Amino acid sequence: MSRPFIFPNLAQLAANMSGRRMTAVSYLVVAAGLVALVILTVDPAYEAGVEAALWACLAFFAFEWLARLVHAIRAQRGLAYALSGGGLVDALAAIAVPIAIVCGADNRSAWLLGVFWLLKLVPGVPGLRRLRRVLVLEAGSLSSVLVLFLMVLLFASVAVHVLERSVQPAVFGSLPSTLWWAVVTLTTVGYGDVVPVTPLGRIVAAMVMISGLGVFGLWTGILATGFATETRRDNFLKTWNSVSKVPFFASLGPAAIADVTHMLRTMDLPPRTMIVRKGAPGDCMYFIASGEVEVDLPGKKVRLGEGDFFGEMALLGNRQRSANIMTTELSRLLVLDLVDFHVLMARHPDLAQTIDAEAQRRVQENK
């Protein structure tokens, strides 16, 4: 039998804290710790109180790390957690400052290592994981541009060194010195502390500036395109997951679901949100992937749940909405616009028949 925790609720607390998603408390502690760190470097008058706040933040991170480590050990994956990126970040946040103090660093310098607490925000930012995937997928293209950057950098350094070394030996007398000029020029920073004075040197400088714009434009384009592609991919997967859960589309094959997924857009709405207003022009219909909506009909209110759809009446005949509809709980809706509605009905006549039959049934019910 495994040994019980010393504190009665520590096992459950460790399980809750073992997830990589940051909680609101964790975000608050990181923010408080970083604010205290800034204050410590600005006004020594508050050093005692600020250090107390920093020790409290450190204690929280240490407990969080130990709780996750204990939970991982109990799940027989302690080593995997300890060597994972998240485990190393948790350990660094908990022990970096104490190790610095033990090694003889003064407190004000040791607390600067609290900047590593920022790394704990990484798991809570989905865009960073997406960016990491883009960097992996586009590594070849990015490396090619890096090689181009280095080639331009070295060619420009050698050319300007040859052209300017006799005129400005203190500045361009060696390749390392010229490399500094080439870096700031190629990155379009242009500090102005080192500039060529010969006509040929200035021509080379102009070409380097233009090359810098092109190189960084390539990098930006590759990352922007890759990030946009990954965003579309994630949105497609989320929409696919929602579409596959709607019983209305259950009879469709994978190819048809993919077709529908490209047409639909998702909409997440909180409770008591008005979706459709009576008398407003209708230009789309809705499928309920999750949640519930309330239809305010004359003399009665009807509730529609997961798998139902509404708004098709305005697309089949009269373009005006016939009722007010709002959410009763947190809901995810799939929206099909008018143009895509006609395309979908043309491609899938069986869906058109189902929607038309449901519309006729609702007309009879509402009479």
Residue 351 placed within a domain: yes
Q: How far does CA 174 lie from the centroid of its chain?
A: 45
Q: Whole-number mean pLDDT of the chain? A: 81
Same domain, 194 and 148: yes
Query: Which residue pairs, CB below 8 angstroms and at least 24 apart, start in 159-166?
Result: 159/204, 160/196, 160/201, 160/204, 160/205, 163/196, 163/198, 163/200, 163/201, 163/204, 164/196, 164/197, 164/198, 164/201
Backbone φ, ψ for residue 290 (5° rounding): -160, 155
Look up the CATH number of the domain holding residue 186: 1.10.287.70
pLDDT computed for residue 318 by the predictor: 61
pLDDT computed for residue 11 by the predictor: 44
pLDDT computed for residue 278 by the predictor: 85
* Domain C-terminal end among 178, 199, 230: 230
Condensed to tens digits (0 to 9), the pLDDT of residues 43-78 reads 777 777 888 889 999 999 898 888 888 888 888 888
Positions in the chain short of pLDDT 50: 1-8, 10-11, 14-15, 18-22
Cα distances from 73 to residues 14, 69, 79, 82, in angstroms, run: 11, 6, 8, 10
Cβ atoms of 303 and 329 within 8 Å: the answer is: no
* Domain C-terminal end among 230, 261, 285: 230
CA distance 84 to 309: 45
pLDDT computed for residue 20 by the predictor: 44
Residue 193 placed within a domain: yes
Please list the helix, strand and coil fractions of the chain in percent, rounded to the nearest 5, in that order. Answer: 65, 10, 20
pLDDT computed for residue 16 by the predictor: 53
Same domain, 261 and 362: yes
Same domain, 118 and 19: yes
Which amino acid makes up residue 236?
A: F
* Domain C-terminal end among 124, 149, 173: 124
Same domain, 204 and 168: yes
Residue 318 placed within a domain: yes
Residue 5 placed within a domain: no
Give the dihedral sign, CA 180/183/186/190: negative
Residue 133 placed within a domain: no
Same domain, 38 and 117: yes
Closest C-alpha to 239, from 223, 263, 204, 210: 263
The H or E element spanning position 72 is helix 47-74
Residue matched to tokens 């990126």: 85
Residue 341 placed within a domain: yes
pLDDT computed for residue 5 by the predictor: 42
Residue 220 placed within a domain: yes
Condensed to tens digits (0 to 9), the pLDDT of residues 130-182 reads 888 888 888 899 999 999 999 999 999 999 999 998 888 888 888 888 988 88
Residue 100 placed within a domain: yes
Farthest-apart Cα atoms in the chain, separation: 96
Cα distances from 276 to residues 294, 308, 324, 358, in angstroms, run: 10, 15, 5, 19
Same domain, 106 and 205: no
Same domain, 69 and 145: no
Q: Provide the H-helix boundaries in 246-348.
A: 254-263, 313-316, 338-347
pLDDT computed for residue 99 by the predictor: 92
Is the model's pTM score more than 0.85? no
Same domain, 156 and 220: yes
Q: Which domain holds residue 214?
A: 139-230
Same domain, 292 and 356: yes
3-state SS assignment for residue 5: coil
Number of domains in the chain: 3
Same domain, 17 and 107: yes
pLDDT computed for residue 247 by the predictor: 65
Same domain, 104 and 200: no
Q: Return the half-sphere exposure (C-beta side, CA atoms, 13 A cut-off) of residue 220.
A: 6
Look up the CATH number of the domain holding residue 106: 1.20.120
Neighbours of 255 (CB within 10 A): 8
CA distance 360 to 353: 10
Same domain, 72 and 95: yes
Instruction: With both helix axes pointing from N to C terminus, report the angle between 254-263 and 199-245 in degrees, rounded to the nearest 10.
Output: 120
Look up the CATH number of the domain holding residue 279: 2.60.120.10
